[in-house]
Structure 1
Amino acid sequence: MQQIAKVLDKANKDDIKLLKDHWNEVVDHAKTNDMKSLVSLLQNSEPVAASETHVLIKLEEEIHCEIVNKDDEKRTNIENVVCKIIDKTVKVVGVPADQWMRVRTEYIQNRKGTSVGNTQEGSEEHNTSQQKESETVDVVQKAKDLFGESTVNVLDEE
C-alpha cells in the first residue's frame, strides 16, 4: 500500500494518458519479441495511475501483482519495455484488480483526512473553515486529476 500511495501522491493526468494511449504497444512489443512471461503478466493489465517516475498497473490476477512487485527481473523487463515505447524511465508497481477500487477510495479518504487534520492544528477558528474548504477543494481536484472528472463523485457531508 505504501508503494501505491507514493505513486498516487505524484500521479497526474498527462502521464496516465500517455501510458494508456501506448499500453497496447507495450503488450504488443512483449508479444512480438517472444517475451511470453511478460505477455501473460501484461495481457489483462491496465495502467491506472502514473507520474513522471512511476506507473501503477492494475493486474487481473493477484499472483501477477505479486510477481510484478517482488520479482526484480520481471519488473525490470516490464520497465524496459515501457521505456522503449514511451521513451521515459518509470518504475512499475502492481495492484490487484479486485482491490484497486478499495485502495483508491482509502487513498482519497486518507488524503482528505490528512489535509483536514493538518489545517486544524494551530490555526485560529475563523481561518479553520476557510482552510478546510480550500484543502477539501485541493483534495477533490487531485482526485479528479488522478481518476477523471466522470469517476469522482463528491459528497458534502457538512
Structure 2
Amino acid sequence: MIDHAKSNDKKSLVSLLLNSEPVAASEDHVLVKFDEEIHCEIVNKDDEKRNNIESVVCNIVNKTVKVVGVPADQWLRVRAEYLQNRNTNETHQSEKQSTQQSQQIDIAQKAKDLFGEETVHLVDED
C-alpha cells in the first residue's frame, strides 16, 4: 500500500501507513493494523484520510472496500471475537435451516394426513 501511495503522490498517507499492516479482508472490508493507536483513530475518524486509503486499496485490488483501523495491541482480541461471532452465526443459521426444514416436513405430513397421499402433490420451489 505504501509503494502505491508513494507512486500516486499521496505522500500524506505514507507516514500514516508506514507502521501499518493489512491483516484481514472480506468481500467489502479491509482491516488494517496500526502500531500506534493514534494512527488507528485518524483512519477511523478522519473521513478524508480513510477515503484516500480506500482509494489506494481500490486501485490495488480493483474493488471498492471500506477500511477499518485496529490498534496492534487489540488485533488478536478483535480477530478472536470476529471468529467467535462468525462461528456462532453459522451455528444459528444451520439451526434455523434445520428448524425450517422440519416445519416444512410437518406441514407436508399434516396435509397428507388431512387430504390423503394421493391428493397432495408436493412441489419443491427451491
The TM-score normalised by the length of structure 1 is 0.53
Mapped pair 1:66 → 2:41:
yes
2-side partners of 1:33 and 1:114: how far apart? 40
Tell me what 1:138 maps to. Answer: none
Match of 1:79 among 54, 58, 69: 54
Who wins on radius of gyration, i.e. which is larger?
A: 2
User: Share of identical aligned residues, percent?
Assistant: 71
Alpha-carbon deviations, 1:49-72, whole Å to 9, x = none? 112221111111111111111100
Asked which structure has the greater RCO (Cα within 8 Å, sep 6+), the reply is 1
Provide the C-alpha distance between the structure 2 equivalents of 1:117 and 1:32, rounded to a whole number of angstroms: 46
In structure 2, distance between residues paired with 1:67 and 1:91? 15
2:31 matched residue in structure 1: 56
Q: How many pairs are equivalent?
A: 98
Matched residue, 1:92: 67
Structure 1 stretch 108-117 or stretch 41-50: which is displaced more?
108-117
CA distance in 2, matches of 1:30, 1:60: 19
Say whether 1:43 aligns with 2:11.
no
Structure 1 gaps of 5+ residues are: 1-25, 124-158
